[in-house]
Every structure is written in C-alpha cells, then in structure tokens.
Amino acid sequence: MTDLRIQVVERAQLAMMLEVAAFPKPGNVDRCHDYPDTTIEHFLASAILARPALEEAAAGKGRIGEIIKHAVRDTNTHGGGNTHFGAFILLIPLVYGKDIAGALEAITHTESSDAVAFYKAFAMTAVRMPAGDDLDVNDPHTLTLIRERDMNLLDIMQHSAANDMVAREWVNGFSLTRRGADLLKELGPGRASIVRTFLTLLATEPDTFIIKKHGLGVAQETMMAARDVLDGRRTVEDLDGECICRGINPGSIADILIAALYIAMGEGWSWES
C-alpha cells in the first residue's frame, strides 16, 4: 500500500473521530454525553476497526457493496449497535475514488452483486426503513427482486433517495457533503468550525434519520431550531438539551458531516486550530 493510500484511509478515520469528538452537537453522541446503549467509545472503536475495509476501498479494487458489508461486519463486533452505517455508505465510495469526482465515477460501475451485498450489510444493522418499501431489508424476497430487476447499488440509492439523505448524496453528486466541506474551509481550522458546520447542515435540510423516527414535523422543527442557534436566538446547549430529552438525534447529518470532514481535510482544511 502506498503512502497516499494510507493517507486517504487515515483521513477517513480521522473524520469519523473528529465528528464524534466535536461538541456540543445537538442530540448526538459527543464528548459531552452518551446514549444509554451507545457511548463515545463505541464510535471511536468503530473508527479504529473500520481500517481494513477502508484499506480495501483505498486499493480501488473490489466491489463497493462488498466493502461496505465488510466495514459493517468489522465494526459490529461491539454491542453499541449501528454507529457508522450511513458514514460508510458515503466514505467507502469517497475513499475508493479518493474524492467526489472519483466516487461518482466508481458508483456507476456498481452491479447487482453490490446491491445484494449492501442489503446483507443493511440486514446486520438496526437501521430503520420506511414502511411499505418494496425493497424491505427484512424481506428475504428482496434479494431476488434486486437480481431480477438487475438493480445496481446506484439504483438502490436512487430508490432510497426520497426518504434517505445519505442515499441522496449518491444521486445528487454528494452535494451536501460538498457544501459541508466548503463550509469547513470557509469557517477555518478547528473544532468550532465542525460544530458550526453541523448546525448549518442541520438548518439546511430535514434530517431523514429524524423523519424516520419522529416524522417530518419534528425534523423541520429541528431545522428551524438549528437556524435559531445560528442566528443567536438560542444557545446550542439549550437545543442539545431539548434534543436529548426528546430522543431527537440527527444521525444522517452526522454521517454527512463525516464525509464533509474527509473531503475538507483532503483539500487542506485542518482540524487543529
């Protein structure tokens, strides 16, 4: 493995670490608090244990769906539940292709075997799916459907894009990832920029992880609350407290922030202030 490949892998791991260490991030596990069954150690362990899958991706060989499955398998060894499934959906193609352009190229080459592997990875997690999806991860018939329709992994993401902002990144050219990276660079180096970027993304679009758990109304409320924090009408600590109390965790925005950190660091942004 060349030095460049190691750099790409380590940048992805640092992105995962920096996201969870940044605080306060309203509603999510951060340096200031855990959830009862998922602690900061679970996220940090996952960042460490993802290395072999990220190295596989950095080699730019192998199948993206299979590599996502390996990442989930290797990081599911702890009892903290799914920590980085959404992040892997973004990071694996980004590491595979090195940057957004490379990722967009790589995902067009996925096949139905990638889609099948991805669904197997999905089944290892406890991530929610919207009711009534005809490609339900819990239905054994889904894998047959995928093969019959000859859907590749990009088709699957297209299928999921309406209800899942992480899948949407695959079909919209990683636009929120790009926006997050640009924000980080505008805001300058350091931890405060990570928190500000998180809040800005949160104020930009309703988090689909919140929608699946609490409905669109709550997700839109959270968006507006993040806007209030950005505009100084409310403290971030106050919003954090409310989110934790109500079980509102913007998990998909966190996944996109990880991808944004990965891209920004590749373009010279530094986490050290």
Site for its own copies in 178-197 (CB under 8 A): 191
Candidates 34-42, 134-142, 164-172, 223-231; binding stretch for its own copies (CB under 8 A): 34-42
Nearest approach in angstroms of CB 220 to its own copies is 33
- Site for its own copies contains 59 (CB under 8 A): no
- Cα–Cα distance, 71 to 69 (Å, whole number): 5
- Cα–Cα distance, 35 to 139 (Å, whole number): 29
Cβ nearer to its own copies, comparing 32 with 216 = 32
Candidates 76-84, 123-131, 156-164, 238-246; binding stretch for its own copies (CB under 8 A): 76-84
Interacting residue with its own copies among 8, 17, 87, 165 (CB under 8 A): 17
Nearest approach in angstroms of CB 247 to its own copies is 22
Cβ nearer to its own copies, comparing 67 with 143 = 67
- Site for its own copies contains 271 (CB under 8 A): yes
Nearest to 225 by CA among 125, 186, 245: 245
- Cα–Cα distance, 260 to 184 (Å, whole number): 8
Interacting residue with its own copies among 5, 21, 81, 220 (CB under 8 A): 21
How many residues make contact with its own copies (CB under 8 A)?
Answer: 24
- Cα–Cα distance, 195 to 175 (Å, whole number): 19
- Site for its own copies contains 230 (CB under 8 A): no
Cβ nearer to its own copies, comparing 5 with 227 = 5
One-letter amino acid of 143: L
Cβ nearer to its own copies, comparing 48 with 224 = 48
Cβ nearer to its own copies, comparing 119 with 271 = 271
Q: Which spans of this chain sit near its own copies (rule: CB under 8 A)?
A: 6, 10, 13-14, 17-18, 21, 31, 39-41, 44-45, 47-49, 51-52, 78-80, 191, 271-272
